[in-house]
Chain A
Amino acid sequence: MTRTMLPILGLVLGAALAAAGPWIGPARAQDGASPVPPATAIPGAPSAKGDAMPGASRATALVDSLKNPDVWRSYRSRFITEAGRVVDTANGMISHSEGQGYGMLLAVAANDRVTFERLWGWTRANLMVRSDELMAWRWEPGKRPAVADLNNASDGDVLVAWALTEAAEAWDEPSYRVAARRMAVEVARKTILFKDKNGALLLPAVSGFSAAERADGPLINLSYWVFPAFARLPIVAPEFDWTALTASGLNLIRRSRFGTAKLPTEWISLKGEEPRPADGFPPLFSYNAIRIPLYMVWAGVGRPADYEPFVALWSGPDRERLPIVDTADGRTVESLSESGYTALSALLLCDRKGTPLPDGFGRPQAGENYYPTTLHLLSMVALQMRNLSCPAR
């Protein structure tokens, strides 16, 4: 990548922290520690980005992109408690930072400010128990204590930081902007390796995935690359090269084509020269990875060839279910039958091939669980934001 917004690494921030360190309260204060050299003028302008690489400038706002209020009301009554907790109904009624992030994004998309505040209020009161600006990723009701793990999940943090950014933009609320910046900066300085040999790497969490901590590390999860977020986080944290993250994610997707199906696995080792399925994880294209094409379409990034394995997989005769594929032998080991999942394939095929949307695309099924329903609503939002038009068949 070029040098349009290289991260202000090392010297600048480091030098400041060096002196600033001690006075910061609970090791979480950031801007006290992080001077932010501006996106300075350089001769000429930042290099032009083609359609394959939309920068922040052309990303559209999220607010009001979920046009159907009934869909949102139904979602809220099924998955969000009055306290603002998003409940993973298929998973022991637990909550996680990712779910809170999705809920907050959908609340902005539905322009539901009150519900957004409930969601954010619960999130910070219950998940921000680390001594930094990130969230503990997992929360289980009825447990002592409810927080299960103090580690974070980078995708959850990215999603919440993005949702706060959108909320700040939509409603001009300073507290959201402040929170968005603190969290985005923390993600950037604690979980991103900007100068890895593979380009900018988003580690799945602060702890446990680095080269030092795993024999096959660093480990990545490509579904944590929330491309549409990277187009918007520069609004609150312009000093970091979020564009580099988009470029590296696409590059890694290109290189992570395992087995005959040429699909990425959920967890990928970057220990060697080329990506390979991580040790100790089934080499599946599964619940996590099905979000990769969603984020690509949503942000409108990537070359046509980048989409091909996903298009091929989801263009099969059975459009009612989404396959989970073992990349070792290319076989479908299981099928996701809840219709919410198929919104992902409908969105992808609409974007890539102009395939008409199925009848149920605008009407999420009432009986389905948190995850497929959430993916369904996100697909509807993506369709709207990308202004895609594929008449229902």
Chain B
Amino acid sequence: MSGTVIRVRERPATASATGRARRLALLCGASLAGLCLVTPVAAQTENPDEAARAPAIIAAPGSSGAAGMVDESALRYYASQKQTARMKAEAARLKQLYPGWVEPTDLDTLQPSPPEEAPLWDLFTAGRFDDLDAAIAARRAADPNWRPSDELSRKLLRASFRSRLKALTSARKTADIVALYRADPSALDPSDVESYWTTAEALASEGGTAEALALYKSVLDTSNDTGVRLATIQKAMSTLPMAMAEKLVAMGRSDAEGGSEFKAIANDITRARIVADLHGAPAQEPSPADMAAFQTYARASGDSSQTGLLGWYTYNHRQFRAALDWFKLAISRGGDAMIAHGLAHTLRELGMLREAEEVAYAWRDKYVGNSILFIDLMGRKLTQANPSFIDLDRINRYAKVTLATASGEGAEALGWYAYNSCQFEAALEWFQHAVAWLPSESAVTGYALSLQRLKRKPDYLTLVNRYDGLFPKVVDLLFREGPAGPPLACAATADASPPQGARPAPGAAPASAPAPAARNTAAYGRVPKPDSSGDGQAKPLPVQRSEFPLAVPAENPLRYAPPSLARVVADRQDGAFLAEPPASKTMPLVARRVSGAGPMPYESYGFNLMPGYDGSERPSTLSEPGEGTLWRAQQAARTRAPQERAASETDRFTLPNSQAVNRGYDNPDTAPSSMQRP
């Protein structure tokens, strides 16, 4: 019944520890196999001593009965009977059994329990608290002046608190635990460390971190048991923000050698500080010595999650060479897809883009983030102003991943690559996919340009008219001199006809390299400037009435289902769906105002738009995400970055063209855009 906490130091892993390990494994399985670096704590310990202590630290609260309780009933009985010799003997016995135990201070004040309470004490001893409550109530009903002795009242209060706490804990009713505790904090038995921990954990999870901290603190104030003290730190670090747990760490006493009594769990403390740093939570920075010790431990442990942690930590501090070493070590020790994700990002930061692409590709199926990283990494390469030669196999596999993940980003990147190398038919097909999956202004522009190049005028006009009022840059294509703006670099040799046999068409055999065009170095001169339509002066419209405005269906009909569904989705199912209501009137020819779309190019010629759905008459742009969003922080870091990077080792890997490809919606005026390039 008693002493679990104290004794567990000598015990091997308990059932509750393995149970938790299993639960964590399940959690990981339920989400994404690659996501879980969470390891059971037992696995994080580095030496046999720690392994032996682990169960005390991770034992699920409530699993060990009234663990933590020192049975003081005999002691208190002797004290109340004033049998001092026996009392002292019992105290000595308890001290020997439980080295951390402290003698209660109220022994002198205890009064002998009245003889008529004997049956009530029997009920108490038997743990029949409900019956005891009932008996007391019955007694008081018969004799309103009677009340149980203070000793019995107090013990009953604490015992019933403990038993209710236990029940609530196993039912995981944290809110009820908090309510129970707050109803009468004095019901918490100071000698019952387990209950302190359980209550503190519930408080922390319900937002009562300050109260939780106070409970942990009072354990440290009163307990001299090393195991209890270490476990309290462990528990606090797992339930409280590290900044609060640091206050408890600071309470560590100095041992004989002048070190902290918590040095046995120094690596756990360092780990908690590292994790807090990764989560952007305040915590003390690990000292160089602690960091070195943790690194030694991580190297020796063979546990990829620990080396991986150091990988993320160094990455976070922009020490990419170190991060590379740690991630590589973690991968060599069986690191998972999330480790690979860190490795790929580190390689990217070091300018080793080719390697980053390979890592992301290799791990694409194990973690969705790698798939996305692969698409985005190579998307950058493909949308560079001057397309460079890219190996056939690389384009093919990129096309495959793009189709398998129905990536609008990938399709648009392939579209631009094909377009900029004068493979207009391939470009058209990729842009069709892009417009089906992610019809951004840039994708629709690419599609329109491809249609224009291929002289598919009706389709081109339908598209431009469909996005009238929404995409100024698409509409602007109609208002330019010449069909498609300045010539493409590749057009010198390729003109409007794509190189034969080099057509990465999405549906059929995947892409092949645009080799002839790409090797045409003579065409690689300047990046054409965006064509600005005039210099602000009103000019006659170069657009014919037969082209604009036209009444066109408003709905974007393009669809590309995943391969597994492509056929069934195309099947008609009469009656299974709502018939699209016929348009009550013909499609309007004048566009309405759309919030956030900005002005249309023809407005500068004095034409106006209809009011928007909300009555708006003026063009508007959308504001950026507000203060306090992660996006905002990222933007701020982006503008800080050039200075930071200037002195960094990454510079020698920086690609010369990297500033040229931001086709950001957020900054359309300053960012040269590939859609404007042709």
Chain A positions within 8 Å of B, measured between CB atoms, are 1-3, 5-33, 35-53, 56-57, 73, 76-83, 85, 87, 93, 113-114, 117-118, 121-122, 124-126, 128-132, 138, 140-151, 173-175, 177-179, 181-182, 188-196, 203, 206-213, 218, 234-236, 238, 247, 251, 303
Taking a contact as CB atoms under 8 Å apart, the answer to whether A235 and B31 are in contact is: yes
Q: Which B346-397 residues have C-beta < 8 A from chain A?
A: 348-349, 365, 368-373, 375-377, 379-380, 383
Given contacts A13-B634, A23-B661, contact A131 B442 (CB under 8 A): yes
- Rounded to whole angstroms, the CA-CA distance of A174 and B372 in the bound complex is 11
Residue B135 at the chain A interface, CB threshold 8 Å: no
Q: Mark B333-353, 1 if CB is under 8 A from A, else 0.
A: 000001101100100110000
Q: State which of B37-45, B125-133, B149-157, B420-428 sits at the interface with chain A.
A: B37-45
Alpha-carbon distance between A126 and B177 when the two chains are bound, in angstroms: 50
Q: Is the CB of B316 within 8 A of A37?
A: yes
Contact residues of A: prevailing secondary structure? loop
Q: Which of B175-190 contact A (CB under 8 A)?
A: 175-177
| B508 close to chain A: CB less than 8 A | no
Q: Contact between A27 and B664 (Cβ–Cβ < 8 Å)?
A: yes
One of A17, A124, A181 near B372 (C-beta < 8 A): A181
With A9-B633, A78-B578: A40-B595 Cβ-Cβ less than 8 Å: no
What separation, in Å, do the CA atoms of A42 and B241 have in the docked complex?
11
B577, A81: Cβ atoms under 8 Å?
A: yes
Give the CA-CA distance A369 to B581 in the complex, in Å. 15
Looking at the complex, which one of A46, A146, A190 makes contact with B629 (CB distance below 8 Å)? A190
Give min CB distance, B295 to chain A, whole Å. Answer: 16
How far does the Cβ of A3 sit from chain B's closest Cβ, in whole Å?
5
Q: Does A39 contact B638, Cβ atoms closer than 8 Å?
A: no
Q: A170 CB to closest chain B CB, in angstroms?
A: 13
| A57 and B26 contact, CB distance less than 8 A | yes
- Taking a contact as CB atoms under 8 Å apart, the answer to whether B442 and A57 are in contact is no
Within 8 A of A (CB), among B628-671: 628-631, 633-641, 644-645, 650, 655, 658-666
Which B residues lie within 8 Å of A206 (CB)? 622-625
CB of A174 within 8 A of CB of B371, answer yes
Q: List 25 A-B contacts (CB under 8 A).
A: A9-B279, A9-B633, A12-B312, A12-B315, A14-B634, A18-B645, A28-B440, A31-B369, A33-B376, A37-B315, A38-B338, A43-B44, A44-B57, A47-B204, A53-B175, A76-B576, A125-B437, A128-B437, A143-B588, A149-B596, A178-B371, A179-B406, A213-B623, A218-B626, A235-B31
B38 A142 Cβ-Cβ under 8 A: no
Specify which chain A residues have a CB less than 8 angstroms from the CB of B55 in the assembled complex.
none
Minimum distance in angstroms from A122 CB to a CB of chain B: 8
Contacts A9-B630, A38-B338, A118-B569 given: A129-B439 contact, CB under 8 Å?
A: yes
| Contact with A148, one of B349, B467, B613 (Cβ below 8 angstroms) | B613
Q: Are A21 and B662 in contact (CB-based, < 8 A)?
A: yes
- Choose among B372, B408, B613, B641 the residue that contacts A21 (Cβ–Cβ < 8 A): B641
- Residues of B near A42 (CB, < 8 A) are 237-238, 271-272, 275
Q: How many Å from the CB of B641 to the closest CB on chain A?
A: 3
Inside 8 A of B577's CB, which chain A residues have their CB?
Answer: 76-77, 80-82
- Other than the given A9-B279, A57-B30, A141-B580, 7 more pairs (CB < 8 A) read A24-B664, A45-B41, A50-B205, A77-B577, A114-B571, A117-B561, A235-B30
A14–B271 contact, CB under 8 A?
Answer: no
A210–B627 Cα distance when bound, in Å, is: 8
Within 8 Å CB of A35, what residues of B?
A: 312, 315, 341-342, 345
Residues of B within 8 A of A77 (CB): 575-578
Shortest beta-carbon distance from B468 to chain A in Å: 6
How far apart are A38's CB and chain B's nearest CB, in angstroms? 4
Say yes or no: B436 contacts A22, CB within 8 Å. no
Give the complex CA separation of A9 and B632 in angstroms: 11
For residue B138, CB closer than 8 A to chain A, the reply is no
Q: What 3 pairs between A and B have smallest CB-CB spacing?
A: A44-B238, A131-B665, A18-B641
Chain B min CB distance to A262 (Å): 20
Distance from A317 Cβ to chain B, minimum over Cβ atoms (Å): 32
Does the CB pair B659–A22 fall under 8 Å? yes
> Which A-chain residue is minimally distant from B598 (CB atoms)?
A150
A44 to B278 CA separation, bound complex (whole angstroms): 17
Chain A CB within 8 A of B252 CB:
no
Within the assembled complex, what's the spacing in Å between the Cα atoms of A238 and B443? Answer: 30
Question: Of B37, B265, B629, which is in contact with the most chain A CB atoms at under 10 Å from its CB?
Answer: B629
Q: Are A3 and B576 in contact (CB under 8 A)?
A: no
**Contact assessment for B634 and A17 in the assembled complex, using a CB-CB cutoff below 8 Å:** yes
B176 proximity list for chain A (CB < 8 A)? 50
Nearest chain B CB to A182's CB is how many angstroms away?
7
Bound form: Cα–Cα A12–B341 in Å: 14
Q: Given the known inter-chain contacts A2-B241, A21-B641, A121-B436, please indicate yes or no for A29 contacting B379, CB distance below 8 A.
A: yes
* Residues of A with C-beta under 8 A to B658: 22-23
Contact A146 B633, beta carbon cutoff 8 Å: no
Contact residue among A128, A192, A193, A251 (Cβ-Cβ distance under 8 Å from B438): A128
Are B578 and A3 interface neighbours, CB within 8 A?
no
Determine if A147 and B441 form an interchain contact, defined as CB atoms under 8 angstroms apart.
no
Check B440 against A144 for contact (C-beta < 8 Å).
no
Cα(A8)–Cα(B175), bound, Å: 27
Contacts of A131 in B (CB 8 A): 440-442, 664-666
CB contact between A40 and one of B209, B309, B650 (< 8 Å): that residue: B309
Q: Is B73 an interface residue when CB atoms closer than 8 A count as contact?
A: no
Contact (A20, B406) CB under 8 Å given A44-B41, A146-B555, A203-B626: no
Interface-forming stretch among B92-100, B166-174, B253-261, B531-539? B166-174
Q: Give the complex CA separation of A138 and B592 in angstroms.
A: 14
Q: How far is the CA of A38 from the CA of B367 in the complex (A)?
A: 11
Chain A proximity of B285: nearest CB distance (Å) = 13
The answer to whether B565 touches A124 (Cβ under 8 A) is no
B554-A142 in contact (CB<8A): yes
A199 nearest CB neighbor, chain B only: B207
Which of these, A26, A40, A117, contacts B305 with CB under 8 Å?
A40
A189 touches B634 (CB 8 A): yes
Contacts of B626 in A (CB 8 A): 193, 203, 209-213, 218
A23 to B376, CA, bound (A): 9
Q: Identify which of residues 213-261 in chain B touch chain A, using a CB-to-CB cut-off of 8 Å.
A: 234-235, 237-242
Contact check, A15 vs B573: say whether CB atoms are below 8 A apart: no
Chain A residue at minimal CB-CB distance from B639: A18
Residues of A within 8 A of B341 (CB): 35-36
Question: In the complex, how many angstroms separate the beta carbon of B13 from the nearest chain A beta carbon?
Answer: 15
Residues of A within 8 A of B315 (CB): 12, 35, 37
Give complex CA distance A65, B627 in Å. Answer: 40
Residues of A within 8 A of B369 (CB): 31, 36, 181
Cross-chain contact B175 with A149 (CB below 8 angstroms): no
Contact with A along B275-311 (1 / 0, CB 8 A): 1101111000000000000000000000001101100
Q: Mark B312-346, 1 if CB is under 8 A from A, else 0.
A: 10011010000000000000000000110110010
Please tell me if B678 contacts chain A, counting CB pairs below 8 Å.
Answer: no
Known contacts A17-B638, A150-B594, A238-B31; A50/B576 CB under 8 A: no
Q: Does B27 belong to the interface (CB within 8 Å)? A: yes
| B412 CB–A CB distance under 8 Å | yes
- A15 touching B561 in the complex, CB below 8 Å, given contacts A24-B380, A40-B38: no
Chain B residues closer than 8 Å to A207, beta-carbon distance? 596, 622-624
Contacts of B578 in A (CB 8 A): 76-82, 87
Q: B237: which A residues are within 8 A, CB to CB?
A: 42-44
Q: Once the chains bind, are A3 and B31 in contact (CB under 8 Å)?
A: no
Determine if A24 and B440 form an interchain contact, defined as CB atoms under 8 angstroms apart.
Answer: no
In-complex Cβ contact of A117 among B470, B569, B594, B665 (8 A):
B569
Shortest B474–chain A CB gap in Å is 11
B11 at the interface (CB under 8 A from A): no
Establish whether residues B409 and A25, one from each chain, have CB atoms under 8 Å apart when the complex forms. yes
If A9-B633, A144-B469 touch, whether A83 touches B580 (CB-CB below 8 Å) is: yes
**Are A81 and B587 in contact, with the CB atoms below 8 A?**
no
A309-B164 Cα distance, complex, nearest whole Å: 29
B558 to chain A: which residues have CB within 8 Å? 125
Q: Please determine whether A39 and B38 come into contact, CB atoms closer than 8 angstroms.
A: yes
A78 surroundings in chain B (CB, below 8 A)? 578
